Each structure stands twice: as structure tokens, then as C-alpha cells.
Amino acid sequence: MKENQYDYIIVGAGSAGCVLANRLTEDGQKQVLLLETGGSDKSIFIQMPTALSIPMNTKKYAWQFHTEPEPFLDNRRMHCPRGKVLGGSSSINGMVYVRGHARDFDEWESEGATGWNYSNVLPYFKKAETWAFGGDDYRGDTGPLGVNNGNNMQNPLYKAFIKAGTDAGYMETGDYNGGQQEGFGPMHMTVRHGRRWSTANAYLRPAMARENLTVVTHALVHKVLLDGKTATGVRYEQNGQVHDVTANDEVILSAGSIGSPHLLQLSGIGNPDVLKTSGIEVQHELPGVGENLQDHLEFYFQFRCKQPVSLNRKLDWWNKLKIGVRWILRKDGLGATNHFESCGFIRSKAGVEWPDLQYHFLPAAMRYDGKEAFDGDGFQLHIGHNKPKSRGNVHVQSADPKVAPRIRFNYLEHEADREGFRDCVRLTREIINQPAMDEYRGAEIQPGASVETDEQIDAFVRQAVESAYHPSCTCKMGTDELAVVDPETRVRGIENLRVVDSSVFPTIPNGNLNAPTIMVAERAADLIRGKEPLHASDAPVVMDEQWQSRQRQGQAKRVLT
């Protein structure tokens, strides 16, 4: 093999790129180069789960993107951090492990992503995972990715929230990543032996011992090199020096839903109008590049807590120090969890076939930067409408790769999304006002009891809603005119070039995106190597048979008036 020549070049050592680096080198036959703009993930703030708010707000570890003024959010510029470190966004995220509903993947296939239905993707979810409670028809027990429930809901607020959900007439689910997503139950996280189990820890670190994997950090990729309609390599910059490297087989972009479309556009692949405006010569017309951008929004529903059991009592410097020291010495305790240990997935109304609202329950009232929301005890629910109809875009602004792209989500442009958040407010109040929460529920802090009408809820949401940090779908997989990659993840019209990350999702799943991104990379690795796909699963899916006529299975025991 010549110097600067490899079989595969992977751009981005994130949730997908680390998986590919492992799988494409495991047989020892191919030389693989993995390029990452960021550096090492060996920081206590990355590895200690409870410190999750720090890396996502640190320039060293995350691209600190911001959107254009969002016209339906009172022109607010929204924060959009993306991982810039080994492990990518799996090293800065909240570690919540949600695969999505089975119907989300059937929806992908209906959108043109042939072969990506639930039966076909479930075996790859299992392949990736070691579930702390053992394998079965739905869960894996031999995969690289460690998944557990943190501290197993020791705080009483977690179980009270689940009971409130069932009091309100919703289902309970023992495993929302198993046969039944809908309902209330324990939440899962990518934590193993008390540490954040990013794809860097799970996949990349074992692979780095192999002679056929080369990892280059602090490497800013400028563009994909093309010979006509064939990708031949990439150009990247490191320490002020520009390098061209050649790929004998394929170039694979795994730079994420912001980075991958931006790199395609920098390479002259995309909508000609967008490229020409930025002074980039068109190499290949592909109008869907950067379009179809989707994300999850959420807000914090906050309450005071009448009992002295919330984590607000642990937010002073002395308690944080004790938590940190215990974690350093033992890798357990409150430092070894993301604190999202119970959750809920419900349907917003009758006629919605599978859940479109998601709850993360937190036994504290605080902001994403880890600071207290108010003095005293409290708890909060992160609630969002997870199947948005609004669509945005990522557009290159300059031929200079150091200039960030223009990002606009058009959050809440569609009336159905605004309606979904009204449902979030009203249904959450009903749930929290169930008997199970009576001994804990204090005053409603946010939105506040005075926020009642559609207009008041809409105004509150426009000001309070935040990104759940799940940008996706900007290089959608399919066969229509806006599809960027085909169902094999190959860029349409360009030889030897693929995109493998959350940008290829046709639609956003109901849940956090790390798990489905890892699954996509696992399955794509087999496609790239020409391997026979894993045998499809026939495991059944539990659904409410009367979804067309009811919003939940039973009637609530208490209804707000």
C-alpha cells in the first residue's frame, strides 16, 4: 500500500464512524483511515456520566453551531452542538438509549429506504448491544455497546412518575426498547462499569490496536476529491498542512447531519443554486443535499417537590465534589448515571398509531448547563412532540471549509407541531396530577398555572422550547428526487462515495438518535463489505389495537378541570 493510500477513508469518528472503523477492520484485510477534527475523549467530564452538561457546552469537544433566526420561535437563534472529539456526539450526549418505535423503521421503508424496515433492523440493534439484564428476542447480550438503567431508580420520584402514568390510564412497559415502546417505565442509558459508553469506548478503542486502522485527529476535511463522477479520496488539513489521501475502494462520510451535507456541498455535490451562491463549482447536481432537516424540540415542565428527596440538594459544590470523588474511586453512585432513569412514550391523540410524545423524567429542577432552576427541591419532565412535520435545511455559506454552514430548522412551522406541544402541556398536567404524585407534587413553576389557552401555550413554547440535539435526515435515504443516498447508503450518481450517519434517516424516529445511528452503521458495514444481511426478525410488536378510537388504554383516575 502506498503512502497516503487506503482502502476506505472514513470522515468523522462519531457514533457511526467509530462503528465503521471497527467493523471494516475486523477481518484484517482492508486498510482504513479514520479522520476526526477533534481530539482525545480522555476527560473526566466526558467519561463521568453525571457531567454530561459540560462537554456539549465546551468548544474543545463540540461544534458550537447556532441556527439562523427561527421564524416560528420568535426569531431565536437555537444552539446546535455537535461532537468534535473521538466518539463524536456519543461523547457529548445525554447517553439516553432509545431505538425508536418499530413503526418508525417501517415508515423508512415506505419512504423508499428498501430493506430498512423493523424486521431487518432489529437484528442489528441486537448485534450492537450488551443489555445489562440479558438477551432475548429483542435485546442483545454480546455486542460492544453497554446499556443499563443507571442506579436502577433508587430515587422514589422515578417510580412515582411511572405510577402516575398508569394512574392516568396509560400502559406500563418493562422495556420500551423491546416489544412495547408505548407506556411508562425505566429508561436506559449507554453506561457501562459506571462510565459513559460512547462509540469511542465501545468500538474504536478495541479497533485502534489493529495494524490496519489509522486514526488521525485534529484533521479538518476540506472536501471529497472527485475524478468525474467517482470519489477518489479526500483533502484535509492538520496543523496548517494540507494533505490529499486516496481511497482505493470508498470514501465514507460519517460527519453527522450538519457535517456530511456540508462536506458534500463543499465538494460541489448538491443543489446548484446553493453551490453557486457560495462560489462553489457544481460537480454533481443533487438537490436533496442539506434538505429535509428534522430535529426534536422539548421543554422542561418543572414543579416544586414537597419532600426533601430531589437532586437539587446535591447541586452545591461540596456535594458535587463528594459525588466526583466517589466516582473516581469506585465508578458508582450519582456520578455513574445521567439521572434520566424513568420515562414515558405516549400518543398525543386518538388516530395516532404509535407514540409521538416522549418524556424524560429528572428528579431535579435544573437547566441543561447543570445549574439550579430555583431554590429548594424540585423535579422536571423533559417533554416533546417527536414526529415533527416541519422541515429545514443546512446550506453551505462559503467555499472556505472553516466557515460554518447556514442552519435553519423552521421549528414549529407546521400547525401539527404546534398542536403537538399543546397536547404536551395538557396531558402532562393530567399525569402529574395523579394520586401517585400527591405526596411530592408542589407548585407548577413552568409553564405556570396561568398558561392555559392555546395562545398562551403557543407563546410559552416559542420562548421556552429547546432543541433535544437530534438533527437528522439531511442526506435522506430513498429513491425520490430529494434522496441523497440509495438504500445501500451510496451517494446517488457518484461512484465509491457513501454517507453513513443520522443524516441518511428518511424521517426522524420517536426517540433519541444515538441508538438508531449505531444501528445504521452496523447494517451499512455489512452492505459495504457485501456480506449477507443478518436474518430478519419475526419478533412481534405490541400496539394498542384501538389506536384509531382512543388516545390511551383506560380512563384517567383524575382529570383537571
47 and 16, same structural domain?
Answer: yes
Which amino acid is located at 389 in the chain? Answer: K
Q: Do 324 and 48 touch, CB atoms closer than 8 A? A: yes
pLDDT (mean) for 316-325: 90
User: In percent, how much of the chain has pLDDT > 70?
Assistant: 97
**Angle between helix 454-464 and 415-432 (nearest 10):** 100
CA distances from 16 to 200, 222, 260, 273 (A): 10, 20, 12, 30
Residue with cell 412481534: 540
Answer yes or no: is 436 within a domain.
yes
- Measure the CA–CA gap between 292 and 483, rounded to whole angstroms: 9
Closest CA to 304 of 372, 220, 396: 372
Q: Before 49, cis peptide (omega within 30)? A: no
pLDDT (tens digit per residue) in 340-374? 999 999 999 999 999 999 999 999 997 655 555 67
pLDDT (mean) for 160-186: 97
Binding residues for FAD: 7-36, 85, 93-96, 221
CA atoms within 13 A on the CB side of 182: 23
pLDDT (tens digit per residue) in 391-407? 999 999 999 999 999 99
H-run or E-run covering 46: helix 44-47
**DSSP 3-state of 498:** strand
**DSSP 3-state of 397:** coil
Answer yes or no: is 121 within a domain.
no
**DSSP 3-state of 371:** coil
DSSP, residue by residue, 199-259? HIIIIIHHHTTSTTEEEE-S-EEEEEEEETTEEEEEEEEETTEEEEEEEEEEEEE-SHHHH
424 and 353, same structural domain?
Answer: yes
- Measure the CA–CA gap between 507 and 504, rounded to whole angstroms: 9
| pLDDT given at position 372 | 56
pLDDT (tens digit per residue) in 376-387? 899 999 999 999
Residue 484 carries which DSSP code? -
Q: Do 66 and 408 touch, CB atoms closer than 8 A? A: no
Q: Before 447, cis peptide (omega within 30)? A: yes
> Is the pLDDT assigned to residue 300 strictly greater than 70?
yes
| pLDDT given at position 558 | 45
> Is the pLDDT assigned to residue 417 strictly greater than 60?
yes
Catalytic residues, which ones?
470
Radius of gyration over alpha carbons of the chain, in Å?
A: 23
User: In percent, how much of the chain has pLDDT > 90?
Assistant: 94
> Is the pLDDT assigned to residue 91 strictly greater than 50?
yes
- Measure the CA–CA gap between 188 and 147, rounded to whole angstroms: 6
Residue 178 carries which DSSP code? T
CA distances from 413 to 72, 74, 294, 475 (A): 6, 12, 12, 21
Residue with cell 442506579: 151
| pLDDT given at position 370 | 55
| pLDDT given at position 227 | 98
Please list, residue by residue across 176-200, b when 16 or more beta carbons sit within 10 angstroms of its beta carbon and e when fewer do: bbbbbbbbbbbbbbbbbebbbbbbb
pLDDT (tens digit per residue) in 249-299? 999 999 999 999 999 999 999 999 999 999 999 999 999 999 999 999 999
Domain span including residue 368: 150-186+297-385+412-464
288 and 422, same structural domain?
Answer: no
Answer yes or no: is 123 within a domain.
no
Question: What are 40's three cell numbers?
Answer: 482525545
Question: What are 352's three cell numbers?
Answer: 395516532
Among positive and negative, which fits the CA dihedral 30, 35, 39, 45? negative
Q: Do 381 and 300 touch, CB atoms closer than 8 A? A: yes
Question: Residue 67's domain is classified under what CATH number?
Answer: 3.50.50.60
Q: Do 510 and 100 touch, CB atoms closer than 8 A? A: yes
pLDDT (mean) for 151-166: 96
Residue with cell 423524567: 361
Confidence of residue 317 (pLDDT cuts 50, 70, 90): confident
Residue 241: how many CB atoms within 10 A of its CB? 7
| pLDDT given at position 310 | 92
pLDDT (tens digit per residue) in 15-43? 999 999 999 999 999 999 999 999 999 99
Closest CA to 143 of 151, 133, 135: 135
475 and 441, same structural domain?
Answer: no
Question: Residue 176's domain is classified under what CATH number?
Answer: 3.30.410.40
Does the model's pTM come out above 0.75?
Answer: yes
Binding residues: 7-36, 85, 93-96, 221
| pLDDT given at position 561 | 30
> Is the pLDDT assigned to residue 185 strictly greater than 60?
yes
Residue 405 carries which DSSP code? P
> Is the pLDDT assigned to residue 104 strictly greater than 70?
yes
Task: Give me the number of domains the chain comprises.
Answer: 2
- Measure the CA–CA gap between 165 and 170, rounded to whole angstroms: 6
- Measure the CA–CA gap between 235 and 230, rounded to whole angstroms: 15
The residue count for the chain: 561
Q: E-strand spans in 307-459?
A: 342-346, 357-362, 378-385, 393-395, 406-408, 441-446
- Measure the CA–CA gap between 295 and 440, rounded to whole angstroms: 33
250 and 167, same structural domain?
Answer: no
Answer yes or no: is 544 within a domain.
no
**What is the chain's mean pLDDT, rounded?**
95
- Measure the CA–CA gap between 106 and 119, rounded to whole angstroms: 9
- Measure the CA–CA gap between 485 and 505, rounded to whole angstroms: 10
- Count Cβ atoms within 10 A of the Cβ of residue 422 and give its class: 0-12 exposed, 13-18 middle, 19 or more buried: middle
pLDDT (tens digit per residue) in 514-548? 999 999 999 999 999 999 999 999 999 999 999 99
| pLDDT given at position 171 | 96
Closest CA to 202 of 105, 65, 97, 277: 97
Answer yes or no: is 560 within a domain.
no
The DSSP bridge pattern shows strands 406-408 and 393-395 to be: antiparallel
14 and 70, same structural domain?
Answer: yes
355 and 496, same structural domain?
Answer: no
Answer yes or no: is 145 within a domain.
no
Answer yes or no: is 538 within a domain.
no
- Count Cβ atoms within 10 A of the Cβ of residue 480 and give its class: 0-12 exposed, 13-18 middle, 19 or more buried: exposed
Residue with cell 443524516: 503
353 and 248, same structural domain?
Answer: no
- Which residues share a beta bridge with 543? none
Answer yes or no: is 487 within a domain.
yes
216 and 93, same structural domain?
Answer: yes
pLDDT (tens digit per residue) in 114-149? 999 999 999 999 999 999 999 999 999 999 999 999
430 and 289, same structural domain?
Answer: no
Residue 515: how many CB atoms within 10 A of its CB? 24
Closest CA to 388 of 356, 360, 359, 343: 356
483 and 424, same structural domain?
Answer: no
254 and 371, same structural domain?
Answer: no
> Is the pLDDT assigned to residue 560 strictly greater than 50?
no
To the nearest 10°, report the CA torsion of 268, 245, 476, 527: 140
